[in-house]
């Protein structure tokens, strides 16, 4: 026979065994503010909104005097314990984060001039290695390298790796296209794991 207890009955039963104090519910319940109540009227909790409508509602119901934060929780239906189902990647934000980004490009020959023309802050080859290794120079936010320079850049792994600056093909920072707008337009790439 299935027995269903109300909350008070359950606390009563638990109190018999554990001698727990019973805290009365209700009474001094905090009320919501007027702005919250008005915003809550605009949202129908029974409706599943698409992305555009949801963003529109978020903007319409924002009441703070500062830029509010919005979180998106997405159920991907993957099991992270399996290596083939792990979610990893990098994304370049369309308007950046507002931070001025300094770009260092490791390249040879024509690619040096190409990177300079694209607006990279620091451009060079093997001559930059002793400066980074010995002098500890890390006055840059993004490191881009051509594949033929990765042998040189690989020696900097102990310096650049812990700082998250090591060029990576998955993040798109090991490329022959060093003049890509995504590095030199001052957009900040954010990686997620």
Q: Is the pLDDT of residue 124 over 70?
A: yes
Q: Which residues pair with 145 in a beta bridge?
A: 106, 174
What average pLDDT is seen over the chain? 77
**pLDDT-derived band of residue 17, with 50, 70 and 90 as boundaries?**
low
- The mean per-residue pLDDT over the stretch 128-152 comes to 88
pLDDT tens for 95-104 read: 767 777 788 8
Q: Is the pLDDT of residue 46 over 50?
A: yes
CA distance 14 to 155: 64
**pLDDT-derived band of residue 192, with 50, 70 and 90 as boundaries?**
very low
**pLDDT-derived band of residue 188, with 50, 70 and 90 as boundaries?**
very low
The answer to whether residues 123 and 107 touch, using CB atoms and an 8 Å cutoff, is: yes
**E strand or H helix that includes residue 111:** helix 110-118
Percent of the chain at pLDDT exceeding 90 = 1
The answer to whether residues 105 and 149 touch, using CB atoms and an 8 Å cutoff, is: no
Which residue ranges form the domains of the chain, and what is each CATH number? 32-73 (no CATH), 90-192 (3.40.50.790)
CA distance 184 to 100: 11
**pLDDT-wise least confident of 34-43, 89-98, 125-134, 137-146:** 89-98
The answer to whether residues 187 and 93 touch, using CB atoms and an 8 Å cutoff, is: yes
- For residue 97, give the nearest of 7, 168, 185, 8 by alpha carbon: 185
**pLDDT computed for residue 1 by the predictor:** 40
| Torsion from C-alpha of 141, 142, 148, 151, nearest 10 degrees | 50
Q: Is the pLDDT of residue 141 over 80?
A: yes
- The mean per-residue pLDDT over the stretch 53-62 comes to 89
Residue with token string 């990647």: 89
**pLDDT computed for residue 73 by the predictor:** 82
Q: Output 8 or 153, whichever has higher pLDDT.
A: 153
């Amino acid at each position: 026979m299935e027995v269903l207890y109300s909350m008070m009955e359950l606390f009563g039963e638990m109190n018999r065994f554990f001698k727990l104090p019973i805290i009365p519910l209700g009474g001094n319940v905090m009320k919501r503010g007027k702005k919250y109540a008005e915003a809550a009227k605009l949202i129908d909790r029974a409706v599943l909104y698409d992305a555009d409508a949801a963003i529109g509602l978020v903007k319409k119901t924002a009441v703070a005097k500062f830029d509010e934060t919005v979180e998106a929780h997405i159920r991907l239906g993957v099991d992270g314990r399996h290596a083939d189902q792990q979610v990893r990647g990098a994304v370049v934000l369309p308007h950046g984060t507002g931070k001025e980004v300094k770009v260092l490009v490791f390249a040879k020959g024509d690619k040096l001039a190409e990177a300079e023309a694209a607006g990279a802050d620091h451009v060079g080859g093997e001559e930059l290695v002793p400066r980074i290794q010995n002098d500890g120079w890390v006055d840059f936010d993004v490191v881009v390298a051509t594949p033929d320079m990765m042998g040189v850049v690989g020696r900097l792994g102990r310096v650049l790796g812990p700082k998250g600056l090591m060029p990576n093909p998955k993040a798109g920072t090991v490329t022959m296209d060093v003049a890509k707008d995504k590095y030199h337009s001052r957009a900040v790439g954010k990686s997620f794991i």
